[in-house]
Amino acid sequence: MAHNAYDNVTITPTDNRLGLARQSSFRCIVKAVGAGLNEEGFVKFIRSKRMPQITLGGWLLIVAGVFVALFGLLLDRIFQSSNPGIRMPQLLIAALGAALALVGVASRGRLPVAGLRANLGKIILITLVTLVMVEAALIVTGYSTYYPVDLPKTNRKIVDWFGCDAAMGCRFQYEAARDACEAGELRDMFCIFNTQGFADTDEFVASADLFQRNRTLVLGDSFTQGDGADVGFSYVATIEKTLPEIALWNLGINRSGTNQALASFRGIAPIMQPQLTILGFTVGNDFRDNRLTIEKAFALNKDNRPGADSWPLELEGRWGGLYEVEPLTLLVYSPTNISPPPNELERLTGLTRLGSILLRSLDALSPLFDGIKWNEQVAVTRGLLQQLQAAIAAMDSQMLVLIILSKEDFPTKTEKYTTAIGLMRELAIPYLEVFDRLQGLADYEVHGTHWNNSGHGKVGKLLSECIEDFFAAGSLSACDHVVRP
């Protein structure tokens, strides 16, 4: 038998694993060449002798590890409020990712899919130990939790002088609110209310001369109630001073939306039977408020300043879902500047450092869903406007919407503003724009969000002209400032 020249090749043994691997590979090549294999046979031969490959489980660990490591290194970019530069918490997260990736590489040939169950206990144990070590390291570095471990104490209390019901929505509770004014908890415009609890000095009753007068009902939020203006200088008060002969009832309630306007209209309109109904639509917050329940919790302002803070008893989650919250829960979380957790699982997650990283990551991703939340707000607002439009028509009244701008609408109108205008045109609701009548931020509070005396006065005079023209002609088309889609 003929002998091949490669039969006499010898390789010096070595205890080095890398050397053994090289010897094994070299022997494969020598034997393949010695056997006189062609190219196809050589490939098949090498594949039959190849080294163990990375398994599916290993690749999953590698991918997860790389993702975690990159997340740690880019943490200051993901959270724009973070201090720039790589710091200890980021290094720990990156180290955790690198460790996971190395475990994936080291598992080559040892974690076959068929035998993964046998190694599952070890994987879980290693993962838990690693997580505990990283959590401990984050505690040492002072990394804060998402939700406070110990909620700060507050001496604030839920007040009883404001409440909501199905009959007329939210409003002051007369007896309790009067006591609050005497005690100094409320003052100025917040102490102007009738026995029905609305910000008006007139009682909402069908008096003997009511139906002998021209009647106008005004709905809205804090702008309509008179926030930002001195007592007697709100836009509604300006109309009353300009047109003292008409009956004008103000149903404006601060921190409310179109849902509140609909509820109060259904409760009061049958008494007044208005010929004209004006809705003050605030583009800055009405879209958001309309998605939430009208029921709210009120608590005294911080530092015992007169007035109150309020929170809806329903909040919007990071993905747009709504969840209910108890008044006391809102109160105890108010000093933290974060919303209460939607459920107990998230609260417990947010009490750990690693869980806090996860929740903050989700918060960073939530703006990607702003479009979905915005579309839902617009859809709800459209539905409420249609309901209010139908209710006003059923009372044989005409509807006019006052488009109330926010500070952000100067000098360029925001998407909320243009969307509001689009809804009025879509639903064929007459509306009044005041953009050109206001001198930008000069007509707003310096440290607030409402019109000042000047802004309220300009809007009040413009509306007075339109109301006078309406009653003179019996139609809103008589007012040149009103847009009739």
Q: Hey, which residues does 218 pair with through a beta bridge?
A: 250, 278
Q: Is the pLDDT of residue 141 over 90?
A: no
Fold of 162-290+372-483: Rossmann fold (3.40.50)
The burial class, CB within 10 Å (0-12 / 13-18 / 19+), for 381 is buried
pLDDT digits (tens, 9 = 90+) for 99-114: 877 877 776 655 455 5
Residue 388 banded pLDDT, cuts 50, 70, 90: very high
More confident residue, 161 or 105: 161
Give residue 20's pLDDT. Answer: 46
Question: Among the listed ranges 145-149, 273-277, 305-309, which one has the minimum average pLDDT value?
Answer: 305-309
Phi, psi (degrees; rounded to nearest 5) at 109:
80, 0
Residue 2 banded pLDDT, cuts 50, 70, 90: very low
Residue 290 banded pLDDT, cuts 50, 70, 90: very high
pLDDT digits (tens, 9 = 90+) for 241-277: 999 999 999 999 988 999 999 999 999 999 999 999 9
pLDDT digits (tens, 9 = 90+) for 315-345: 998 888 899 999 889 888 988 888 999 999 8
Give the mean model confidence (pLDDT) for residues 352-359. Answer: 92
Q: Is the pLDDT of residue 415 over 70?
A: yes
Give the mean model confidence (pLDDT) for residues 37-43. Answer: 54
Give residue 26's pLDDT. Answer: 44
Give the mean model confidence (pLDDT) for residues 283-307. Answer: 81
Q: Is the pLDDT of residue 61 over 90?
A: no
Q: Hey, which residues does 164 pair with through a beta bridge?
A: 170
CA distance 371 to 369: 5
The mean pLDDT of the chain is 83
CA distance 457 to 239: 9
Give residue 164's pLDDT. Answer: 87
Give the mean model confidence (pLDDT) for residues 350-357. Answer: 93
Give the mean model confidence (pLDDT) for residues 391-404. Answer: 97
Say whether the peptide bond before residue 84 is cis (omega within 30 degrees of 0): no
More confident residue, 163 or 12: 163
Parse the chain into domains and list their residue ranges. Answer: 5-48, 56-141, 162-290+372-483
Give the mean model confidence (pLDDT) for residues 26-48. Answer: 51
Give residue 104's pLDDT. Answer: 75
Q: Is the pLDDT of residue 42 over 80?
A: no
CA distance 472 to 106: 88
pTM of model > 0.85: no
Give residue 18's pLDDT. Answer: 42
Based on DSSP, count helices (H) and strands (E) in the chain, helices before strands: 17, 12
What share of the chain has pLDDT > 90, as a percent?
50
Residue 155 banded pLDDT, cuts 50, 70, 90: confident
Residue 14 banded pLDDT, cuts 50, 70, 90: very low
**Among 202, 218, 290, CA closest to 252:** 218
> What is the strand order of the sheet 398-404 is part of?
247-250, 215-219, 276-282, 398-404, 431-433, 482-483
More confident residue, 262 or 59: 262
More confident residue, 408 or 280: 280
pLDDT digits (tens, 9 = 90+) for 438-454: 999 999 999 889 999 99
Strand bridging mode 162-165 / 296-300: unpaired
CA distance 55 to 388: 63
Q: Is the pLDDT of residue 195 over 80?
A: yes
List the structure tokens of 296.
């709210």
Whether the Cβ atoms of residue 322 and residue 292 lie closer than 8 Å to each other: yes
Q: CA–CA distance from 379 to each of 284, 366, 420, 424 (Å)? A: 16, 20, 12, 13
Give residue 203's pLDDT. Answer: 94
List the structure tokens of 12.
């010096």
List the structure tokens of 256.
């409310």
Give residue 57's pLDDT. Answer: 66
Q: CA–CA distance from 431 to each of 333, 371, 393, 453, 481 (Å)? A: 40, 26, 16, 23, 9
Q: What three-state secondary structure class fits 327?
A: helix
List the structure tokens of 481.
């400032």
User: Half-sphere exposure of residue 386, counting CA atoms within 13 Å on the CB side?
Assistant: 9
Give the mean model confidence (pLDDT) for residues 276-302. Answer: 90
